[in-house]
Amino acid sequence: MQTTLLLVAALLYAICAALPTSRRALVSRLTAAAWLVHAGALYMDLGVPGTLRVGFAMMLSAALWLSVAAYWIENRNFALDGLRRLVMPCAAAAAALPVLFPGSLLPLEGRGPAFGWHITIAILAYATLTIAAFHAVLMALQESRLHTRAQGAGWLGATLDQLPALLTMEKLLFRLIGFGFTLLTLTVLSGIVFSEQLFGIALKWDHKTVFALLSWLLFAALLAGRRWRGWRGKMALRFTLAGFATLVLAYVGSRFVLEVILHRGIAA
């Protein structure tokens, strides 16, 4: 059932990407339908009784699910049709990815009922900051195009021209980073609690802990610099991408190597 729902969501996202700008009402309805189908598939796949399914494909699928939600909500306030043509194809691919790479089932027995919430918050944090990084890349491309004004740039150039102004894009970026940082903070704090329960120490200093804390510090520095030093533009983009890169090393990258290259499941 989950496989069917994921493939239906992928198909609906692909249709949304292909529809012309003039069909805005239809795009909005199909986006909402695809998002709901995708949500149902993720809930059924993540919520196996007594276990929690985790893996790089599930993480990316959840990230694009949140990305579609952010696009749909913000599109009611700003004209984001150019963003649709970039987000929807990625969402279609990410929705179908868990069919090929289902990940592993993490047993929840003996870990306490709140452990599942810790994992869920972590997935949401990674997903939100993945969206922020994608958004930062778009801003970098948009700024470069403003400076060069390349002729005949093709589909990508035309899509970038339809994005909102850079100031609007920057506001959206820091909304995403603020929300993602809050979730990442909750992830780190709850991780300390569960580390004490499982290993008897406040922090287990493995690669995931080190890179997660480094990512937290980078995003904290970015938000502090934005608040008190007025950081923006290239400085903000660099910190966003650096924080995201360390977060990828903390989880998604290692899970990809284990699952796809080494063909190993998650360790308890």
Q: What band does 46 get if pLDDT is binned at 50, 70 and 90?
A: low
List, for residues 23-44, the tens digit of each pLDDT value: 778 888 888 899 999 988 888 7
Q: Tell me which DSSP letter residue 229 carries.
A: T
List, for residues 68-102, the tens digit of each pLDDT value: 887 777 766 666 666 777 788 888 998 888 888 77
Q: Among 1-15, 124-138, 198-212, which stretch is predicted with the lowest mean pLDDT?
A: 198-212
CA distance 98 to 2: 10
Q: What band does 111 get if pLDDT is binned at 50, 70 and 90?
A: low
Instruction: Judge contact between 172 and 74, C-beta under 8 A.
Output: yes
Amino acid at residue number 261: I
Domain locations in the chain as residue ranges:
1-106, 113-268
Helix (H, G, I), strand (E, B) or coil at 26: helix
The mean predicted confidence, pLDDT, of the chain is 76
| Radius of gyration of the chain measured on its C-alpha atoms | 19
